[in-house]
Chains A and B, each alone.
Chain A
Amino acid sequence: MSGAEPIPTIGMEVHLHLATHTKMFCACAVEYDAPPNSRVCPVCLGMPGVLPVMNRKAVELAIRMALALNGTIPDFAKWDRKHYYYPDLPKNYQISEYDQPLGVGGYLDVPLDGETFRVGITRVHLEEDAGKLMHPEDGACSVVDLNRTGTPLLEVVSEPDIHSAEQARAYGETLRQLAVYLAVGDCNMQLGQMRFEPNISLQIGTDEKGRPRFTPISEIKNLNSFRSVERAVAFEIARHRQEYEDDPDGYTLERLGKSTRGWLDDREETFLQRSKEEANDYRYFPEPDLVPVVPDRKWVDTIRAGLPELPEHRRRRFIKEYGLPQYDAGVLTADREVADFYEEYVRSAANTDAKTAANWMMQDVMRILNERKVAIAEIRIGPGDVAEVSDMVVTGTINRSTGSDVFAKMLESGKSAAEIVEEENLAQTSDESELKAVVDRVIAENPGPAEDFRGGKERALGRLIGQAMRATGGKANPKVVREILVRKLRG
């Protein structure tokens, strides 16, 4: 045994709902708020004698995701039945891809704290979701809604390349961003459209033969938020450490194998669901009701050609091409439509540089999106409109804070920046003689701050500038006001 520092070794299985209109093997609509058991048919109810038929869109979205994860698409994929008994699974088996999935290999580069780490992808495969089981407070019954049964589910399995709770979270977030970017899935966490199952083990030094020594693997089931992923993984890392310290010879992967655990969100701890001895025996066998998928090269190439620029590539390009700081590039590329909007904005601006445009995006455009909880496509102004108002600020027609007001009014009224500035007489004045008179009055009315500034208190100047701005209804060019003030008070 060696006293080496334990290395958390974490792989992740991620399930996400694909953005299809219908289920994986039948034409029932995928809807999240429909009345119970109103989006079901004999196929997804598991009635005898029915025949499942594959959803083309689901297969294409799965291939799309696998390609974006730099994976390869084998020439042949087949379906298998995975058997288990549970009330939310009417057929008593789930149709999945066991040994010949649609996507194999690949990787995802994950940004975290200004750096990037790479997580290998083992496989990407398609399967179907189960129904929803609920436990009413009262009686001795559980109730089942099978609307979700048969919803196309994509599973992305990673290599154990994740080494901390923060990395586990960042991997989940980056994978979600990619899926949303590709329109592969909406990944709405509240609707349960994305679920995470991290597999955690600690590598602790090596054994007497020099092979890495691992603690038993624990798989945490069904985490449905990034916060719970991070906390559950952190909890497990700490628990493994403790268990190992208590019993270094017994707490090993060789002896205890793999167990399944649940996460209690309110108590912030995991609990044992199934140990190795109780592991499920799924009795996989090839699905006789479905023929294989043979993705020919032409089909795959067409899907590949339809891939957009991926978020990580775009983030790096924003840093290089627009000279943006890491932070700005990350914020602006997190949402594909926001990134598109920004690029169009930079192209249509005559005087606003890329960094200034990034500030307008974050301070004005995205603030509004957050406040109103809307997507960028839902606001009534486009990239050219934002360019118009920021150009007016850059060229000195209006000052920055008036610019923000004009932007807000553009959103309200749908009018152009020029119209609003004209109608409300907002144009900034840089006229020296006009502003000198204002400054004289401000100094006369505020002898205290004026005296403070003369005495060396730089901050007093801000109050005087504020007074001058107020006196002109915000129209004064603050730069010119500052110059005049300094000249007068120091001169």
Chain B
Amino acid sequence: MALSKDEVLKVGALSRIRLTDDEVERFAGQLSSILDYVDKLNELDTSGVEPLAHALPLHNVLREDEPRPGLDPQKAVGGAPESAGGFFRVPRVIDDGSSA
């Protein structure tokens, strides 16, 4: 399954990655070969097989609702490129794109 140049650019845009023309070409080939490899699985007859949600044979791994101290605030923002007054500082964003 060959991935088109536009598809690679779209995936790049969704991942916030700027790609050069060379990279687009190279990644198109690499991504296509990955998809081809996955496509092989389609040769198997999986009707009657439950979809697998998780590789581990586990469920209901839960913890009790008891608070524990986290990171020191200094440390929390310490690794960020910029911080001020305990906040992370980021380039100004205006539109509320949050979709939580």
| Interface set of A (CB-CB < 8 Å, partner B) | 15, 20-22, 26-29, 35-42, 44-45, 53-59, 76, 78, 83-89, 94, 100, 127-130, 133-135, 139-146, 153, 221-222, 262, 273, 280-281, 283, 286, 288, 290-294
Contacts and interface: CB of A to CB of B under 8 A. Distances in A.
Contact of B100 (A36, A41, A140, A153): A153
A283 B10 CA distance: 12
A31 to B, nearest CB: 9
A135 B100 CA distance: 19
Contacts of A135: 92-94
Interface residues of B, number: 40
B59 to A, nearest CB: 4
A383 B47 CA distance: 64
B60 to A, nearest CB: 6
Given A37-B86, A291-B61, A293-B60, A86 B93 contact: yes
9 tightest Cβ-Cβ pairs between the two chains A and B: A41-B70, A143-B87, A57-B65, A27-B68, A56-B62, A29-B67, A144-B88, A36-B86, A130-B100
Given A21-B65, A54-B61, A142-B91, A38 B54 contact: no
Interface string B11-23: 0001010000000
A20 B65 contact: yes
B65 A291 contact: no
Interface of B: 14, 16, 53-56, 58-68, 70-71, 73, 76-77, 82, 84-100
Contact of A58 (B65, B86, B89): B65
B60 A294 contact: yes
A302 to B, nearest CB: 14
A142 B93 contact: yes
A39 B62 contact: no
B96 A221 contact: yes
Given A134-B87, A145-B88, 17 more contacts: A15-B100, A21-B66, A22-B66, A27-B67, A29-B67, A36-B85, A42-B71, A53-B61, A53-B62, A130-B98, A133-B98, A135-B92, A141-B84, A143-B88, A145-B86, A222-B96, A262-B96
A222 B14 CA distance: 24
